[in-house]
Chain A
Amino acid sequence: MERESLQQDQEWVESIVKKDQLNRFNLTNTDAPFNYFESFPEKMNKRIQLENNKPKNSILKIIFLNPYAKIAVAATFILILGGTYLYNTPSTKKAVSEQISLQEIPNEEIINYVNNNESIAEIDLDLVINKENASLENLEEIEIQNIQKAIIQ
């Protein structure tokens, strides 16, 4: 059945183009340089030995061959670098160190300071100081206004 079908297909082609022309086309496109096939197996063996001696693909190599992995690695690197830079800038360092120093002042010292300064003594600082995360920076505007009023009085 398949034989017949093959013959039919070939006859169809040969009804369009002469068989010898088709054969000539085939010959022209199926030639190879002299001794090519004699030397090819040896050439392949050498090439395969070279391939075998090549180091296997490392994870790094795979990452750098994949464009998406390249972008992800680059983005991570930039984030780490940028984050480190921002964290270590002088202004951030200063702000952090100020925050730490205010937090580190013991309540007693603040109370002593207030007691030694009469104008502020009347303010009930205990409420402010004993608040959670108490620090001068955390005073709200209304509280500041209260302090100012107390000073004026």
Chain B
Amino acid sequence: MSSDQELIIQFQQSINKEAVFTQLVQKHQQKVYYQIKRMVLNHADADDIAQLVWIKVWNKLDGFKMESEFSTWIFRIAYNETLNFIQKQKKQGGKLSNDDLNTYENASGSSDEPKSTEIQIALDSAIKQLPEKQRIVFMLRYFDNYDYEKIAGIMGTTVGGAKANFHQAVKKIEKFVKKL
């Protein structure tokens, strides 16, 4: 598969943009979707936001100057779209639909010790209760192994700001889990 840079140049010069765009979607769709889903915790919302993100990419890709990595750029669009969505939901007084906590009990099976399920539920709640910025930094850092520079690029913040958010997130999770 071609690199992002090659695909973007092809897109910007090509008449048949759809074919090149499809390649970009295929290459990045999973990471974009997962980043969104971790924030909204719901497939229907994540799917809607992902579509909005890709439409924005389609509309703006001709003007993309490759000053940053394509993945950073698209994750930043995804991050902003997700924040907009969450803020709209909050204004409308709606709550983000959280997965039923019983999911873990069902998923963990009968062999798991009760204590383990309890911690799992606590962890789930702790991460879900983190402010959006702290939650996304925690996810990107711990699960996606991103460096702070890239995280700062996605969130439009400084490296120091990203580090501070990660530390606050971990402290809050620790406090939450220790309550058990």
Q: Separation in Å of the B47 CB from the closest CB of chain A?
A: 8
Interface size class, chain A: 20 to 34
B124, B142, B166 interface centre (most CB from chain A within 10 Å): B142
Asked if B107 is at the interface of the complex by the 8 Å CB criterion, the answer is yes
Mask of A79-91 contacts with B, CB within 8 angstroms, 1/0: 0000000000000
Cross-chain contact B107 with A24 (CB below 8 angstroms): yes
Q: Separation in Å of the B16 CB from the closest CB of chain A?
A: 12
Mask of B27-66 contacts with A, CB within 8 angstroms, 1/0: 0011001100110010100010011001100110000000
Cross-chain contact B170 with A16 (CB below 8 angstroms): yes
- Interface of A, secondary structure class, is helix
Cross-chain contact A28 with B173 (CB below 8 angstroms): no
Identify which of B38, B119, B145 contacts A21 (C-beta below 8 A): B119
Question: Which of B2-10, B18-26, B71-79, B88-96 touches A?
Answer: B18-26
Cross-chain contact A21 with B147 (CB below 8 angstroms): no
Asked if B133 is at the interface of the complex by the 8 Å CB criterion, the answer is no
Cross-chain contact A48 with B124 (CB below 8 angstroms): no
Asked if A22 is at the interface of the complex by the 8 Å CB criterion, the answer is yes
Identify which of B30, B43, B173 contacts A33 (C-beta below 8 A): B43
How many chain B residues touch the partner (CB < 8 A)?
42
Question: Which residue of chain A is the closest to B26 with respect to CB atoms?
Answer: A41
Question: Which residue of chain B is the closest to A45 with respect to CB atoms?
Answer: B18
Cross-chain contact B147 with A6 (CB below 8 angstroms): yes
Which of chain B's residues have a CB closer than 8 A to the CB of A10?
142
Q: Complex Cα distance A29/B25, Å? A: 21
Cross-chain contact A25 with B120 (CB below 8 angstroms): yes
Given the contacts A44-B51, A48-B21, A17 and B119 also touching, CB distance less than 8 Å: yes
Mask of A25-56 contacts with B, CB within 8 angstroms, 1/0: 11011101100110011011101110100000
Asked if A9 is at the interface of the complex by the 8 Å CB criterion, the answer is yes
Within 8 A of B (CB), among A7-24: 9-10, 12-13, 16-18, 21-22, 24
Which of chain A's residues have a CB closer than 8 A to the CB of B54?
44, 47-48
Which of chain A's residues have a CB closer than 8 A to the CB of B14?
none
Cross-chain contact A28 with B104 (CB below 8 angstroms): yes
Which of chain A's residues have a CB closer than 8 A to the CB of B170?
9, 12-13, 16
Question: Which residue of chain A is the closest to B99 with respect to CB atoms?
Answer: A28
Question: Which residue of chain A is the closest to B142 with respect to CB atoms?
Answer: A13
Identify which of B143, B147, B166 contacts A2 (C-beta below 8 A): B147
Asked if B103 is at the interface of the complex by the 8 Å CB criterion, the answer is yes
List chain A positions with a Cβ less than 8 A from chain B: 2, 5-6, 9-10, 12-13, 16-18, 21-22, 24-26, 28-30, 32-33, 36-37, 40-41, 43-45, 47-49, 51
22 contacts between A and B (CB under 8 A): A5-B148, A9-B141, A13-B142, A13-B170, A16-B173, A17-B123, A21-B123, A26-B143, A28-B99, A28-B103, A28-B104, A29-B34, A30-B34, A33-B43, A44-B22, A44-B54, A47-B51, A48-B21, A48-B54, A48-B55, A49-B18, A51-B59
